[in-house]
Chain A
Amino acid sequence: MSPVKDRKPLYLMTPALAWLTAFMVVPCLLILALAFFRRGIYGGIEYVFTLENLAMVVDPLYARIFLKSAGIAGLAAGIAVVVGYAAAYAIAAMPRHRQPALLFFAVLPFWSNYLIRTYAWIVLLNREGLIVHLFRWFGYEGELPQMLYTETAVVIGLVYNYLPFVILACYAPLSRLNPEVAEASHDLGASQWTTFRRITLPMTVPGIAAGFVFVFVLSIGNFVTPALLGGGQFQMIGNLVYAQFLTANDWPFGAALSMALIAVMMVLLTAQTFASERASGQGGRDA
């Protein structure tokens, strides 16, 4: 990367940067700043500096919710990556002129409303839902486990919602591969599976990492899906933040939780950026 090339088009970013700073960074910082103040007795904020809110975040009670959220987000991201990568691989293996149509269908759900998509799963999963009906229709009369309002339902909802992005993220590097590289591996004596494991997969790690981090980050802070598919008592970190701001009226603690969440996301995104650059092996001549 030559410094000359880097500098030139920088001014083109100014409008976007200004927009983001004015309407995103500044408000966020203002909210996060609340974490350092005390909560007023009747809600509201008392402008006295304190670290109590941040200390409360690491309280075992909340830390456990954090870990559970991370677990669910990790599971959802893992499943989404496996399913999404397989789909992207299949699409990229199709004749080139068919690929845009297939991608379009894969991403189609993305264009409908998030709430509607999530409600659709309620229709599918509930006690009298489509899936139960299907089982009955096939003649299964036995007891069926509770599906709606479980952790599984939340994971299903999250995977479903973010799958299109994973497909797109994995498709990008897969479709850019020179097919002759995989053929070379085959020619040198590798089986199809070895070729996939040693050549195709490592070369597409950036897409996988991007997909995983995207699903993880959006899932760990998600509050709609846990609320709708996880039932009333089910809490993920997003629901906790939501509650602090909208029902408990404890903005400083909500801000402290958000800060922890953002920190986790930042670490992941940074790690992903570096990992991708290294894995792709295309990090420039002196990488």
Chain B
Amino acid sequence: MTQVLLSLSDVEKHFGRVKAVDGVSLDIVENEFFALLGASGSGKTTLLRMLAGFELPTGGQIVLDGKDVSQVPPNRRPVNLMFQSYALFPHMSVAKNIAYGLEMEGLLRREITARVGEILEVIQLAPLANRKPDQLSGGQRQRVALARALVKRPRLLLLDEPLGALDKKLRGEMQLELKRIQAEFGITFIVVTHDQEEALVMADRIAILKDGRLLQSGTPREIYEYPETRYAADFIGQMNFIPVTRSGDLLFARNGARIGGVIPAEAPEALVAAVRPERLYLDAEAENVVTGTVRSTAYLGLDLHLHLDTPLCDQPLLVRLTADAAEGRDITEGARLTLGWSARDTRVFPA
């Protein structure tokens, strides 16, 4: 049973002539881990701030639990925001920071102490309860900010680039940690990120924002396998783009080679065919075949990445081979290779 928790219809926020958020409609269901993905300036923070109540939408409706909350101030919404800057209270200890939101609910001191203690265990910061924020590391601060919002058990928790300030290794750990905590508390999360890998790892569903507009939303798999626009295809993961021209139902690369792929309805003549690097196989019996020269290789343990100069396009094709597939083959610079890929794995977009 999935119940819609949050429903945006045609939400927009214009700052003068800047359309920071421009007509976003979106449903988020209860208990979902939702990621908002977009380049810098695409309106992610502005959208979150409207959900938290810090910005009033200039148009559209925000409905939470069946009630229109568009005009409700932040302190009256069952929504909490974890800020991009963490925004911890520097004059209060870790425990006081976390207790603050519960004090505002007027809970009994005993209950506050109990709940603060409980969440300190969850984020593993109990020994540091009496430290001030400036005596913590970046990762510890991030956990305090999370705990401070989480301890209120909001209906909806908004996280603005929660892992932005952390180094790569810690990020990886915290991504899993966030997912674990979300499942444990059963709270709906909306996480903003500009890191597509992070979104793929963490989210149940992803929405891609571009210039304030919602391009596409769906499960990580849908977004990765079936991007609806060239922008989305390029933004998520890696993609090879091959310029093609359509004549009738057929596609031809610039060297005249036929390219098999599903042509969208009402497609113009100038198109691009797109294929993921891991969908290219050595010696494949496939609709699409190309021979080229290896320009460079990079060994990544499990995978071998290589750039292949081909007559199909100016850009070298990026190819990802598994270690197994590459076993015993001469894949060094200058080697000639023939690769194939299936028409099923070929997406076609307007150029």
Contact = CB atoms under 8 A, between A and B. Distances in A.
B83 A203 contact: no
Interface in B53-112: 53-54, 73-75, 80-81, 83-85, 87-92, 100-101, 104-105
Contacts of B124: none
A191 B83 CA distance: 18
Contact of B134 (A187, A191, A203, A285): A285
B233 interface: no
A189 interface: yes
A273 interface: no
B104 A180 contact: no
B83 A185 contact: no
> Is the interface on chain A under 10, 10 to 19, 20 to 34, or 35 or more residues?
20 to 34
B321 to A, nearest CB: 46
A189, A279, A280 pick with most chain B CB within 10 angstroms: A189
A190 B148 CA distance: 14
Nearest to B79: A187
A249 B334 CA distance: 103
Given A180-B83, A190-B104, A203 B90 contact: yes
B179 to A, nearest CB: 23
Contacts of A284: 134
A184 interface: yes
A186 B89 CA distance: 12
A202 B90 CA distance: 10
A113 interface: no
B84, B85, B89 pick with most chain A CB within 10 angstroms: B89
A185 B104 CA distance: 9
Nearest to A195: B75
Interface string A152-195: 00000000000000000000000000101101111111110010
Contact of A285 (B54, B74, B135): B135
A202 to B, nearest CB: 5
Interface of B: 52-54, 73-75, 80-81, 83-85, 87-92, 100-101, 104-105, 132, 134-135, 148-149, 152
Given A180-B83, A183-B87, A189-B75, 10 more contacts: A180-B87, A184-B81, A185-B100, A186-B73, A187-B52, A187-B81, A188-B100, A191-B75, A203-B91, A284-B134
